[in-house]
Chain A
């Protein structure tokens, strides 16, 4: 398997506070990793280290970058942007090509076509010339997914993608992610362990330390052993049994929860 990113003995944090300690973690091609953990446990910090937004205090981050358009596609939490910023949907999607097109690049017809196709695939093809303030939270989330995908990334990182999304689109999204996983590695951050464990291949539990669980079946006992107490674990009726029952059942029908 091709290695994409390797973290070796990484510790990271802000100011004087260390949030992540001694993390050894490697991401390979076609991985589908669910990152879970309590709020404040360091999930977002881990993402920032992977993206290169935060320099680790100790340890090394190695990216096995190749010449693809954009190595990492990234879906941030929508709450971070100013929704009233005057920008069109098309421009938001094109901004996913920022690193490969240079600073003075004018976007080509081919780039525009790719963006339109992606928007159509996400079911929002008619919104290309709308501006961000005219979109609902869920629509904006889909626009951001298009932005993450337009560069054909080797690794897709999604930070809490279910925040603004309605249930129906959420299951659509996960089905699409399984499709995408055939071409790229995916890291999905969530504190909703119940939902993501249906789809992911492996689970990384982050609570200051990182425990990598090489399966998508995780028991409460294991969570406790990993020192990974989850605040939101009540997806479904009896979470821990649900977690154990479902193996790599990607075609699992979610209707019972809708």
Chain B
């Protein structure tokens, strides 16, 4: 957190993010100006969401989802144009149909995909910090293509965009240019989905351009000014998100909107001053001159972003966008749809840089076999995702006569309907053990540690939507990383606020054979929910003192609403469960010495804190 800006550039991920911001500013500055000038914001929204179908099919077929998205976005862009030109379907209706069709296809194919969809959240919300070299090369190619095309044909593009029919009367290749430009729009959208996510990508293509349009109203100037605004905004947003530890995509967009608001204020003040100086016919206040598209897009982004914060506010902003224009009622549906597709509650532990490890209880003391770190053993030399894994000792062979386990706490949202609970577990494992008497197994407990069920006996086989399980063999030699996946049936309904515990155990007999044991990486857990996600928020509470002897104090800013607190010990047993917590203190005097996990949840947010009891 104390890194200076220059030190940040020593990080590869930050250099990549910086380059991505630069490239996207240029490409989006040009293409976004074109979109805003031609009032193509709605069609761009349609293309964006339709490309989600391609992402789903990409996952399903096991190809790069971006490739699927490119195909889908091009097809939908041309489809919208053809449908509105060659048939009676009006353009905005065609957009509505393809928009929702794409989203629906995406959701279905992701459900049908065996296992899970890694990085799905990145496609929905974007992550400029995780752009890869390949992404950068593709963005560079697009930027070069766009700059070349626009600088060579600027006037033709301008004239065709301004007055298609006049251009046609001059034998200009109007259709050809429209299709090329539409393809560029589609490609720009898809390549920036990696950066900004499906839900927010439209902001890169509209907000800087609209801001530029406040000051200049010539296409060429809008392009240059919006490139500058976009670049400054995204780098500023990137730095703010780094120092305040906020999601980068959303922070960048808030910076964009902030710049927009400041620009608008400056403009209206200077206009009012100008009015006093020169007595001329006053224009409408500039706010009223905003084409509907801009207001719509702002309220749309607003509502999209807020759905993660508060359902109540979403409804308000959706109502606003409905009032703005009735045909955009569709948008309300689509926003709900985009909310629905993230309602599947899942999370991953990559073990890298401590990610997700706050939900793992590692036993210490004599059975402290499971360790998180980079594997450096005889056979186990590589993580599935570098650098870290959880492994039966990071450096030495596993000992004889061991029975240690670690526990992962999964926080359920809503079970998939009360009478059909469904929870999934998947991930990667690598086993290297001597005989079949040394082996690992996984159990789960939907009832806070009262009963434990082996995942591969009674528990498995509850797959729906055609998903197929992949059974692991946690003994012998797997000769490399293998994937496993279970759909689990639970005996009790799993509902919001419930905790599903997973216990991973490795057993060794008394023969020491100096093998490496068992390791896991990139574990994935999910259950199926129908509501809006609750969000992890580490700042929700503070607990003190730690270590604690008698009284554990929980400080929170939230004073109202239902709160639940559960405390789990290292064996996965729930030692404290209060579904209606109002106090500030918990008496830990009767707890045994050891490590505990405390889960504190409100209706919308939760926090997990690890603490130690020492008497």
A interface size (C-beta, 8 A): 31
With a CB–CB cut-off of 8 A, which chain A residues contact B168? 53
Which candidate, B125-133, B155-163, B184-192, B197-205, is the interface stretch facing chain A?
B155-163
With a CB–CB cut-off of 8 A, which chain A residues contact B289? 84
Interfacial residues of chain A within 80-95, with CB under 8 A of chain B in the complex:
80-82, 84-88, 91-92, 94-95
B159 and A82 within 8 A (CB): no
Q: How far is the CA of A162 from the CA of B162 in the complex (A)?
A: 22
| Residue ID in chain B nearest A91 by CB atoms | B158
C-beta contact mask, B17-45 vs A, less than 8 Å → 1, else 0? 00000000000000001000111000000
Which candidate, B211-219, B398-406, B578-586, is the interface stretch facing chain A?
B211-219
Q: How far is the CA of A147 from the CA of B165 in the complex (A)?
A: 14
**Is B464's beta carbon under 8 Å from chain A?**
no
Q: How far is the CA of A94 from the CA of B291 in the complex (A)?
A: 27
Between B33, B159, B169, B173, the greatest number of chain A beta carbons within 10 A of the residue's beta carbon is seen for B169
Cβ-defined partner of A85 (8 Å) among B153, B161, B170: B161
A87 and B165 within 8 A (CB): no
**Is B479's beta carbon under 8 Å from chain A?**
no
Closest beta carbon of chain B to A69's beta carbon, Å = 11
- Given A80-B163, A131-B218, A95 and B169 contact (CB-CB distance below 8 Å): no
Cβ-defined partner of A72 (8 Å) among B158, B169, B172, B222: B169
A76 and B166 within 8 A (CB): yes
B155 and A82 within 8 A (CB): no
| Residue ID in chain A nearest B163 by CB atoms | A81
**Is A106's beta carbon under 8 Å from chain B?**
yes
**Is B279's beta carbon under 8 Å from chain A?**
no
**Is B171's beta carbon under 8 Å from chain A?**
yes
Closest beta carbon of chain A to B164's beta carbon, Å = 9
Q: How far is the CA of A146 from the CA of B372 in the complex (A)?
A: 75
**Is A5's beta carbon under 8 Å from chain B?**
no
| Residue ID in chain B nearest A97 by CB atoms | B170
Between A94, A103, A106, A133, the greatest number of chain B beta carbons within 10 A of the residue's beta carbon is seen for A103
C-beta contact mask, B204-248 vs A, less than 8 Å → 1, else 0? 000000000100111100100000000000000000000000000
A103 and B156 within 8 A (CB): yes
**Is A99's beta carbon under 8 Å from chain B?**
yes
Closest beta carbon of chain B to A5's beta carbon, Å = 13
C-beta contact mask, B163-183 vs A, less than 8 Å → 1, else 0? 101111111110000000000
Write 22 A-B pairs (CB below 8 A) sorted by A numbering. A52-B169, A76-B163, A76-B166, A82-B39, A85-B38, A86-B33, A91-B158, A91-B162, A91-B218, A92-B162, A95-B155, A98-B156, A98-B159, A98-B167, A98-B170, A99-B171, A103-B152, A104-B152, A105-B155, A107-B155, A133-B217, A147-B166
Please give the residue numbers on chain A whose beta carbons come within 8 Å of chain B beta carbons, in ascending order.
Answer: 51-53, 70, 72, 74, 76, 80-82, 84-88, 91-92, 94-95, 98-99, 103-107, 131-134, 147
Q: Top 5 nearest A-B pairs by Cβ distance?
A: A99-B170, A95-B159, A131-B217, A98-B170, A51-B169
